[in-house]
Structure 1
Amino acid sequence: MTRATTGDLTAGPTTTIGRRPRTGTRRPGTATVLRWEIAKLAAQARARYLLLGCLLAPPVVVAVFAGQQPPSDTIYGRYIHASGFADALLILAFAHQWLFPLLAALVAGDIFANEDGHGTWKTILTRSMSRGQVFAAKTLTAVAFNLVVLVVLAASTIAGSLLIVGTQPLPGLSGQLIPAGTALPLVATAWATAIPPLLGFTALALLLSVLSRNPTVGVATPVVFGFAMQLLSTLGGLDLARRLLLTTGFEAWHGLFTEHRFTGPIAQAAAVAAIWTAVCLVIGYLSLRRRDITGG
């Protein structure tokens, strides 16, 4: 009887000790990982300075244009003293040639490679976070930031142009005169057409950030690609290839300012950018998923 009792008492505590204790913790969701990524980005001085530059630089550029001879060899350059809407479109034309690929890559090209530089992949992926969650959070953070950058740049450019030069009617590309009430939404739409190719360059920068594991490559290479696409688009006899370039989408707004407006290039550019974006993100995700992070 004593042995039986002793055995029962021993078995009870052993069973209790053998069970996995309940800690009350749960696996963090993608929204939690996204908040962490946004907080990390907000803490970066580079991100804050970039937004500040997009806010303050356009009015300064417009003010400089106001005291210069019009650059008549550039689209809408000859009209920058005649209407503030022309200034906003001239800056848009300049930005698509030199600025948008860089803006898209400054954060996206570093957001994955930064973890390689600091050797923090093991720390991140052993905190109950899946690679899919990390990839989604970093991608959404880069996309959201670049959209905010574009909105701030567009709003500052349009507002500064109208305040400094004025809201005079805008000469159209067919010679017609576009009243201010019509020109304002058209100019805003023209800036909005930059969203699809900008997202395409963002996805390209994300891909290069994953593959290269080097922030310099992730940031600089999309800019080089942008320059190469601009050069390729100027060559004759490559009409089909030109349509497949991301940079072609930055020029799709021209049809909004002809007498008989056409939006076919805008839809085509959006489709091309969607393909670029999807392909880059899929390759980037598969590469991250298969990566060996045992080294850090």
Structure 2
Amino acid sequence: MTATATIADDNVAAARPVSVARGYRFELVKLVSQWRIRLLVLACWIAPALFVAGVSQQSTLPSDTLFGRWMHATGWAGPLVMLGFAGTWALPLLTSVVAGDVFASEDRLGTWRHLLVAVRSPRRIFVAKALASVTVILLLVAGMAGSSAAGGVAAVGNQPLVGLDGHLLAPADSAGRVLLAWVCVLAPTLALAAIGLLGSVVLGRSPMGLLLPALVALGMQLAQMLPLPVAVRVALPSYAFIAWSGLFTGPAQVGPLLIGIVVSLVWAVTATALAYLLFLRRDFTNVTYDGSGRRAITIGLLPLAGLVALTVAVVAVATPSMGSGIGQDKVQRSLATVFAHLYRLQTRQLHRPAVTEAQLRTTAACTKSDGQAAQEGAGNDWRCVVTWHLPGVAVAGTAIYQLDITSDGRFVADGDGPKEVNGYFLVRTSTGDAPNPLWQFDGNVELLDTH
């Protein structure tokens, strides 16, 4: 009996929890062995290159998307068009498929008891699954970024990129900012992934856990379209999917981007911590577990709602921007800056005498709704008259633009004459017709009052 007891004690002592590293490798293999994950990896590493290369060769470009009108001119516009699409649709769906199902799949298959017996530590199971899902998501994002950049450069070339303030970015600078823009959207992607983990833990085998990140992202996108105060917009993790455009102005508008990244990381940490606490409290002996509605509200929904209120309050105090952030003065300054840079670009195209922004002394006078409404806010009823001066010319030049400004501060300026400046979408150069940079262009109004 003594020998038998000694052997039993030795077996118990030898039954130690599996290390996180081994559990992580096991969970990673489980994920990448699924056919849908393999298809996603292939799609993210191949489809963006084909899409960007194909669109860049078309006669009609997606000019309604940010940087879409420059896909003929430089290969670095393609990955930015893809980034805009990814932030709106692809990344929320990818986080749903990967993180939103990583725990729920065990409930559907009824394999929790086998996994607990093998690993012997719920804490390590959670860490391994969370790390494995994040690894796969990072692999998918890296594929989309690298593939779209490779397709754009291969199809169009390593050419300078026109920024949102109209100035030219050198190819090396363009590449660096494109890479940085993709890195910045990792923060809101991690926030959605954490929400996916939380939904997968709370809702069990329910398909709502799989859809939760996509539904949350859709709700935040709808909120960004509404006439909400700037503080509310910036306090949502989805704003970091938009704010990367500030990297392509001079100087870069990094304030809103940094706030969006910090808010996203806070969401990621909070949602992951909530998922961890709920995971440790669940009853793994119940094979029919189908989620807990009460816990989903008290521990899942209410803390995140409180986090929204807290971040809104902090942003409102730090940056007193409770309005739309789109004021008449901001619109006029932004439009004048973009026009001055693009006018110099057109001057080089037409081989006219060089001129500087200081010599041009460009100004803009803008009115909304013909002055019959408040001179602030988004809308397609902004009308602007741009004025500039040329050295040795007594009469100032003027041009008319119709502006369509969205709630996130992006605007499209559509030239309305004179025809010699912005009346046609092509200009005749010594080497043939070329796109007229002053005909229609994008710009960006910084929403936050940083001064």
By the TM > 0.5 criterion, same fold?
Answer: yes
Amino acid at match of 2:286: G
Q: 1:129 to 1:25 in 2, by over 3 A?
A: closer
Q: 1:214 to 1:18 in 2, by over 3 A?
A: closer
Corresponding residue for residue 192 of structure 1:
183
Q: CA deviation at 1:216?
A: 2.8
Q: CA deviation at 1:215?
A: 6.1
Corresponding residue for residue 265 of structure 1:
256
Corresponding residue for residue 117 of structure 1:
108
Distance 1:90 1:242 in 2: 22
Corresponding residue for residue 171 of structure 1:
162
Determine whether 1:31 maps to 2:21.
yes
Q: CA deviation at 1:111?
A: 0.6
Amino acid at match of 1:237: L
Corresponding residue for residue 58 of structure 1:
48
Corresponding residue for residue 285 of structure 1:
276
Say which structure is richer in helix: 1
Corresponding residue for residue 2 of structure 2:
15
SS in 1 for 2:101: coil
Corresponding residue for residue 48 of structure 1:
38
The answer (yes or no) to whether the contact 1:104–1:198 under 8 Å persists in 2 is yes
Distance 1:15 1:219 in 2: 53
The answer (yes or no) to whether the contact 1:110–1:215 under 8 Å persists in 2 is no
Distance 2:233 2:226 in 1: 9
Distance 2:4 2:68 in 1: 79
Amino acid at match of 1:57: A
Identify which of 211, 227, 233 aligns with 2:224.
233
Runs of 4+ off more than 3 Å: 23-26
The answer (yes or no) to whether the contact 2:202–2:275 under 8 Å persists in 1 is yes
Q: CA deviation at 1:266?
A: 2.4
**148-157 or 243-252: bigger deviation:** 243-252
Q: Tell me, which stretches of 5 or more residues in structure 2 are unaligned?
A: 288-451
Q: Deviations for 1:25-63, whole angstroms, at most 9, x for unmatched residues?
A: 543111121121112112111111111000111122113
Distance 1:78 1:99 in 2: 21
Kindly report which structure 2 residues correspond to 1:143-162, keeping only aligned pairs within 5 A, or say none. Answer: 143-162=134-153
Amino acid at match of 2:114: T
The answer (yes or no) to whether the contact 1:246–1:273 under 8 Å persists in 2 is yes
Q: CA deviation at 1:230?
A: 0.7
Structure with greater contact order relative to length (CA < 8 Å, sep ≥ 6): 1
Q: CA deviation at 1:223?
A: 0.9
SS in 1 for 2:118: coil
Distance 2:124 2:7 in 1: 26
SS in 2 for 1:127: helix
Distance 1:73 1:166 in 2: 22
Distance 1:197 1:161 in 2: 25
Q: Tell me, which stretches of 5 or more residues in structure 1 are unaligned?
A: 1-13
Corresponding residue for residue 10 of structure 1:
none
Distance 2:163 2:142 in 1: 24
The answer (yes or no) to whether the contact 2:119–2:125 under 8 Å persists in 1 is no
Amino acid at match of 2:3: T
Q: CA deviation at 1:127?
A: 2.9
Distance 2:155 2:3 in 1: 77
Amino acid at match of 1:29: S
Amino acid at match of 1:167: N
Q: Deviations for 1:2-42, whole angstroms, at most 9, x for unmatched residues?
A: xxxxxxxxxxxx43233343345543111121121112112
Amino acid at match of 1:111: V
**TM-score calculated relative to the size of structure 1:** 0.91
Identify which of 136, 140, 164 aligns with 2:131.
140
Q: Deviations for 1:54-94, whole angstroms, at most 9, x for unmatched residues?
A: 01111221133121412222211211111111121111111
The answer (yes or no) to whether the contact 1:77–1:87 under 8 Å persists in 2 is yes
Q: Report sequence identity in percent.
A: 36
SS in 2 for 1:287: helix
Kindly report which structure 2 residues correspond to 1:195-234, keeping only aligned pairs within 5 A, or say none. Answer: 195-214=186-205, 216-234=207-225
Amino acid at match of 2:36: R
Distance 2:208 2:59 in 1: 37
The answer (yes or no) to whether the contact 2:185–2:240 under 8 Å persists in 1 is yes
Corresponding residue for residue 433 of structure 2:
none
Distance 1:107 1:249 in 2: 21
Q: 1:124 to 1:169 in 2, by over 3 A?
A: same
Compute the RMSD of aligned alpha carbons. Answer: 1.5
Distance 2:99 2:206 in 1: 9
Between the two proteins, the alignment pairs up a number of residues equal to 283
Q: Deviations for 1:134-161, whole angstroms, at most 9, x for unmatched residues?
A: 0000000011111111111100011111
**257-266 or 85-94: bigger deviation:** 257-266
Determine whether 1:245 maps to 2:267.
no
Say which structure is richer in strand: 2
Q: Deviations for 1:182-212, whole angstroms, at most 9, x for unmatched residues?
A: 1111111111111101100100001101111
Q: Deviations for 1:76-116, whole angstroms, at most 9, x for unmatched residues?
A: 12111111111211111111111111112211111100000
Distance 2:140 2:119 in 1: 32
Q: Deviations for 1:256-290, whole angstroms, at most 9, x for unmatched residues?
A: 11121132222211211111111111111111111
Distance 1:157 1:86 in 2: 9
